[in-house]
Structure 1
């Protein structure tokens, strides 16, 4: 009997981290197939190595190529770790392609981090999959209420927690310097001036506390894409500080869990890393210097008890998360994916599953759905859009662009090795 398989469709490094972590939680005995969608943010080798989850098989495809993909159709479970629009396009198109099959995979989707904006917008693009994971009781209540109000089965929402919450509880160590880690975000704050100001402030804190180690935990190399575009990377901005960076300010890469192993204070504007830190009871500061604003996402943490400014941190503040708020956000659970595994078992026991039915259909929202399908390479019937006649259409052009991108990636690594790496070595271990 062939091994049972769970396939994770991912379109960026952060969504691969979430999807693969979910797969390990809900189907730990299944073989893990990685299916990366070709996008501007398709993960690089370095990003995949940093995440550290090694799949049993791996390939890269376009979304449209998945409609007739027999390997995908033969999986037991498919995790859609994709943006909302792509999830909708795939649910629509795969639903049509799989409708005549006696057996189809169970489909699972959810959110990479906290849902602090566009809740209904994103949720309804995920409606129609078999399981929609909610990372907290707070999210589960909101999701079920919205689904029930628009006629989507609220039982498809299953409460869990962020799958990468883990690691040993915080314990101070006398064997290393007190370490403040700033979790960098690609687009928060936005703009060169604000990002340089943040870096200046981190450097000032390092000068104020020469006994501390201040780490800037980076997400990507300059030019390397993640879920959000990073226009002004700190690796470049550090050369523009008003004064040379102090020796105890370092730029670092690496797995976030491993960086947290040596962290005594996690600081961020609104990174999901804050939840990882809070879960481990590490002092965590949600930075207020750029305002507490919906645009920054830090308004989500208003009731956490962890809002603080750089001035507060300079004065020695070590914020600790409010335990009631933390529990409401899904932290501290002993087995947060038990309900998801039970839901999967119940669905598999049904034998033949009903067809996938997204909330957005051609009848309900034809104009909206049509645009999303086209952007993902599908027509309204869920079929791949045809290549223009003449052999010089979009398909061959995309192939050329992909080859150029791959070549560019190699150049990027050369730049990183020959120019960025020496700079990083001056500030710390990359």
Structure 2
């Protein structure tokens, strides 16, 4: 008998996670029935962001859902796999809910872009997931090492970034730094735009973001024949995965009369890259999208190379460049060795389909091992508190309201006690070494 089609349901809320989930689900081939549920939270995508995020993904079934109806919706769909595509605190809340379904689906989570350096929090929040999806050999290596070091068993799956896939022809023609040295300008893209991929929290400080704004004005003035396109993730008032302060469009507007070739775009990144001569960013995953299409990149190193800037991954890539390089449009292609270890491994190295198939088979045979949540103090009160924090007004449960009413004053008391402790006896060793 032919086995029943594998059914996968994704749950996501913010722009970057919706984009990642839609592309991942849309790209799964074979006997797969995929659907995406967009969960209503305080930072959920707007209708415009949702359209942009799913554009070109190939995913046809997308619906919005409130938390109150999520459990019954999943029970009716009876998925083999639930992909939880969300920020860590929400993953923990949703994994707890999904784990309570009978029979329990395979629970999968992951990170939607550049995930170097590996972090303990990413592991902690995904303790109850059966599979953790990553996108480069380096990411899998570093997360696996961290999990062993922390004694946190986890199974990792490798797959190419779903929105940075290449055809066999693309892989053969994608240029590297060595190609540039031997072939020169013949491999440069035909587009004319300098595209800057903005990030909500990189750089973080207002003065640094103002410096980026001034740089984009300078780049536009230096070459009036080519556009400088500030690519942002949303319009004013729309939420992003990370809370943004000092939005670049506002800072640019504050600089006075602007060159007409400096424009802002909220189109999908794939659309922005259609007319790109090169892409500039500090550490956006858009750099990987550009490289996949043979478009050169500058990873701006003006603010340093640190974990906080999420740009350690570009070390030894050959992509770092200065503000003067941006103004002069001296874009770069990455080294071949960097490509193999970072997001451009061979397709045969992808093991996500095999690992998913194995877990689904185990589930259908009743052999799927339980994945208990991380043991923590507080019990159900703690669960309700965490749920209310991530869902806000979209959590209508009495336990959520009670946890908030009791928990907020308690948290204030605890934080005051911590401040008094630091003032009286100084920081603890853990606080001294925290970064």
Q: Take 1:179 and 1:368, find their aligned partners in 2: how far apart are those partners?
A: 54
Stretch moving more, 12-21 or 136-145:
136-145
Matched, 1:91 2:95: yes
**Stretch deviating more after TM superposition (318-327 or 308-317):** 308-317
C-alpha offsets along residues 180-201 of structure 1, whole Å, 9 cap, x if unaligned? 1100112222244332321121
**Structure 2 residue aligned with 1:81:** 85
2:243 and 2:151 mapped to 1: Cα distance?
A: 36
Q: 1:333 to 1:219 in 2, by over 3 A?
A: same
Indicate whether 1:344 and 2:349 are aligned.
Answer: no
Q: Shift of the alpha carbon at 1:258? A: 2.2
Asked whether the equivalents of residues 73 and 105 of structure 1 are also in contact (C-alpha less than 8 Å), the reply is no
Q: Structure 1 residues 236, 385: CA separation in 2 closer, same or farther (over 3 Å shift)?
A: closer
Select which of 197, 201, 215 maps to 1:183.
197
3-state SS in 1 of match to 2:276: coil
Unpaired runs of 5+ residues, structure 1, are: 379-383, 398-430
Residue 38 of structure 2 aligns to a residue whose secondary structure is strand
Once residues 207 and 22 of structure 1 are traced to their aligned partners in structure 2, the CA distance between those partners, rounded to angstroms, is 39
Q: Distance in 2 between matches of 1:94 and 1:32?
A: 17
C-alpha deviation, 1:230, in angstroms? 2.1
Is contact 2:288-2:343 (8 Å) kept?
Answer: no
Q: Which residue of 2 aligns with 1:41?
A: 43
Partner of 1:237: 251
In the alignment, the residues of structure 2 paired with residue 286 and residue 165 of structure 1 have an alpha-carbon distance, to the nearest angstrom, of 17
- Picking from 306, 318, 331, the partner of 2:344 is 331
Map of 1:138-157 to 2, 5 A cutoff?
138-154=138-154, 156-157=155-156
Query: What's the Cα RMSD here?
Result: 3.1
Alignment map for 1:217-366 (pairs within 5 Å): 217-242=231-256, 244-334=257-347, 337=350, 339-350=351-362, 351-358=365-372, 360-361=374-375, 365-366=376-377
- In 2, Cα distance between the equivalents of 1:138 and 1:388? 42
Structure 1 residues 377 and 213: CA distance shift in structure 2, 3 A? closer
* Match of residue 9 from structure 2: 7
C-alpha distance in 2 between matches for 1:274 and 1:132: 23
Paired residue for 1:387?
398
- Tell me the SS of whatever aligns to 1:303: coil
Deviation at 1:55, TM superposition (A): 3.7
Does the CA-based 8 Å contact 1:218-1:253 persist in structure 2? yes
Q: Which residue of 2 aligns with 1:109?
A: 109
Q: TM-score, normalised by structure 1?
A: 0.78
Structure 1 residues 368 and 83, CA gap change in structure 2 (3 angstroms)? farther
What is the CA–CA distance in structure 1 between the aligned matches of 2:388 and 2:244, rounded to whole Å? 26
In the other structure, the counterpart of 1:58 is: 63
> Per the alignment, do residues 385 and 260 of structure 1 end up closer, same or farther by CA in structure 2, a change over 3 Å counting?
closer
What is the distance in 1 between the residues matched to 2:160 and 2:124? 20
| Superposition deviation, residue 81 in structure 1 | 0.3
* Aligned-partner Cα distance in 2 for 1:301–1:21: 24
Distance 1:386 1:317, change over 3 A: closer
- Aligned-pair distance for 1:394? 7.6
My pick for the range that moved more, 345-354 or 263-272, is 345-354
Which string of whole-angstrom CA distances, capped at 9 and with x for unpartnered residues, describes residues 278-327 of structure 1?
23332111112223232222233222211111112334522221221121
- Tell me the distance in 2 between the aligned counterparts of 1:268 and 1:320: 14
* CA 1:385–1:59: 2 relative to 1, 3 Å: closer
Q: Distance in 1 between matches of 2:379 and 2:161?
A: 30
Give the 3 Å change call, closer, same or farther, for CA 340–308 of structure 1 in structure 2: same
Return the alpha-carbon distance in structure 2 between the equivalents of residues 150 and 285 of structure 1: 35
Question: 1:152–1:359: 8 Å Cα contact kept in structure 2?
Answer: no
> Distance in 2 between the 1:221 and 1:115 partners?
26
Q: CA deviation at 1:126?
A: 1.2
Q: Structure 2-normalised TM-score?
A: 0.77
Deviations 1:225-259, CA, capped at 9 Å, x for gaps: 010122223333332114x2112211112111222
Q: Partners in 2 of 1:161 and 1:110 — Cα distance?
A: 12
Q: Does 1:216 align with 2:222?
A: no
* SS of alignment partner, residue 26 of structure 2: helix
